[in-house]
């Protein structure tokens, strides 16, 4: 009876040692008598007890590894702290186990030395503006170096770049100065544009005012010319009427002389101190004087 119980226990132990269940996205590295034997994929795997054993369980999933923050000296002798994360995936589990003692330690040390080499060739300002270049350069170098370890580096990201406190203060002051400078430039540009716009408006207003004055003067002169023309035409019509009336009346010399004397009387009654009598008027006066003498002689004889 005890023999059967011991035999059954041995069978269970052997079955437990022989049957292995591998999870999805994992592989087992199987060694036989201390030597690499095979890679067991996901599912049920049978091994020989006491001869075979599982050396390592390797995950095939994408893995991340945070690189501890490292102090790095830039080209212009500024010490900055860089925090990095590496995304990698194992492509050959056997190499990942047998080609290096610790894959994670190897990636970490390689990333640290590569970061120091890359950043040491760059200025401080360049490190802030060239993160994508640093990431790509790191990824290429790490991927080439870890290929012999059965590992592929998919991405490398610089999470943070921290300069010293005094450098941060100087950078903040510089940024404030740049912002104030840009604000002053924008304000000056706005004032300049405003002054230009106002000057252009005043210029256009002055031009329009000058054109309006010119048009007004032209119209006023045209109106005065038209008025003078109308007055001249009216005077001409009046003279024409007078001339026609005189011509129609057919006056003789005595009537003309009498009218001249009447005109002279009106002139003499005026405010002028001196009166100029035309030569033709003197003839009329002499004729009147002679006629008056004749009348007087006739009166004395009677």
pLDDT at 278 over 60: no
Q: Average pLDDT for residues 255-277, to the nearest whole number?
A: 55
Residues 42 and 52 grouped into a single domain? yes
Express each pLDDT in 210-221 by its tens digit. 888 888 888 888
The answer to whether residues 193 and 107 belong to one domain is: no
Three-state SS string over the chain comes to CHHHHHHHHHHHHHHHHHEEEECCCEEEEEEECCEEEEEECCEEEECCCCCEEEEEEEECCCEEEEEEEEEEECCCCCEEEEEEEEEEEECCHHHHHHCCCCHHHHHHHHHHHHHHHHHCCCCHHHHHHCHHHHHHHHHHHHHHHHHHHCEEEEEEEEEEEECCHHHHHHHHHHHHHHHHHHHHHHHHHHHHHHHHHHHHHHHHHHHHHHHHHHHHHHHHHHHHHHHHHHHHHHHHHHHHHHHHHHHHHCCCHHHHHHHHHHHHHHHHCCCCCCCCCCHHHHHHHHHHHHHHHHHHHHHHHC
Q: What is the pLDDT of residue 294?
A: 42
Q: Which of 59, 84, 107 corresponds to the end of one domain?
A: 59
Contact 139, 93 (CB under 8 A): no
Q: How many CB atoms lie within 10 A of CB 25?
A: 11
Residue 295 reports pLDDT greater than 90: no
How many separate domains does the chain show? 4
pLDDT at 260: 57
Averaged pLDDT for residues 58-82:
89
Q: What's the start-to-end Cα distance of the chain, in Å?
A: 218
We report the CATH number of the domain holding residue 41 as 2.30.30
Using alpha carbons, select from 64, 228, 240 the residue that is nearest to residue 155.
64
Say whether both 109 and 150 belong to one domain: yes
Final residue belonging to a domain, choices 163, 182, 213: 163
Poorest-confidence range of 30-44, 116-130, 164-178?
Answer: 164-178
Highest mean pLDDT among 66-70, 234-238, 267-271, 277-281: 66-70
pLDDT tens-digit readout, 117-162: 998 888 888 888 888 899 999 999 999 999 999 999 999 999 888 8
pLDDT at 149: 92
- The confidence band for 87, taking pLDDT boundaries of 50, 70 and 90, is very high
Which pLDDT tens digit goes with each residue over 196-210? 888 888 888 888 888
DSSP β-bridge partners for residue 80: 72
Q: 135 with 187, same domain? A: no
> Tokens 């003789």 map to which residue?
252
Confidence of residue 286 (pLDDT cuts 50, 70, 90): low
95 and 156 in a common domain = yes
With bands split at pLDDT 50, 70 and 90, how would you rate the model's confidence at 291? very low
* pLDDT (0 to 100) of residue 142: 92
Confidence of residue 52 (pLDDT cuts 50, 70, 90): confident
For the segment 66-74, the average pLDDT, to the nearest whole number, is 89
Domain boundary among 130, 163, 196: 163
Stronger pLDDT, 171 or 163, i.e. the higher one = 163
pTM of the model: 0.55
pLDDT at 255 over 50: yes
Task: For residue 180, give its domain range.
Answer: 168-250
Residues 83 and 156 in one domain: yes
Predicted pLDDT of residue 156: 92
User: Could you give the percent of the chain with pLDDT greater than 90?
Assistant: 21
pLDDT of the residue at 254: 57
Average pLDDT over the chain reads: 79
> Is pLDDT of 296 > 50?
no
Q: Return the structure tokens found at 173.
A: 């002051």
Q: In CATH, what number is assigned to the domain containing residue 116? A: 3.30.479.30
pLDDT score for 248: 67
The strand pair at 52-59 and 26-32 is best described as antiparallel
């Amino acid at each position: 009876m005890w023999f059967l119980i011991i035999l059954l226990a041995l069978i269970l132990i052997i079955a437990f040692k022989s049957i292995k269940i591998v999870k999805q996205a994992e592989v087992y590295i199987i060694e036989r008598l201390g030597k690499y034997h095979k890679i067991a994929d996901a599912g049920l795997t049978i091994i020989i007890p006491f001869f075979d054993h599982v050396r390592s369980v390797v995950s095939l999933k994408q893995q991340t590894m945070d690189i501890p923050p490292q102090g790095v000296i830039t080209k212009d002798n500024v010490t900055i702290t860089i925090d990095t994360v590496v995304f990698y995936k194992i492509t050959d589990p056997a190499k990942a186990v047998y080609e290096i003692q610790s894959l994670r330690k190897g990636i970490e040390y390689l990333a640290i030395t590569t970061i120091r080499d890359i950043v040491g060739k760059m200025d401080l300002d360049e490190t802030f503006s060239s993160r994508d270049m640093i990431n790509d350069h790191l990824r290429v170098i790490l991927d080439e170096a870890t290929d012999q370890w059965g590992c592929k580096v998919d991405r490398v990201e610089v999470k943070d770049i921290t300069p010293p406190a005094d450098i941060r203060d100087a950078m903040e002051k510089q940024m404030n100065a740049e912002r104030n400078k840009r604000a002053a430039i924008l304000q000056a540009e706005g004032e300049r544009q405003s002054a230009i716009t106002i000057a252009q408006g005043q210029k256009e207003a002055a031009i329009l005012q000058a054109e309006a004055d010119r048009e007004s003067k032209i119209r006023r002169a045209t109106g005065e010319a038209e008025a003078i023309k109308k007055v001249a035409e009216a005077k001409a019509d009046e003279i024409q009427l007078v001339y026609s009336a005189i011509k129609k009346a057919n006056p003789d010399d005595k009537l003309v002389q009498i009218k001249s004397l009447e005109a002279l009387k009106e002139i003499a009654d005026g405010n002028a101190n001196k009166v100029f009598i035309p030569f033709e008027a003197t003839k009329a006066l002499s004729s009147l004087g002679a006629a008056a003498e004749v009348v007087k002689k006739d009166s004395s004889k009677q």
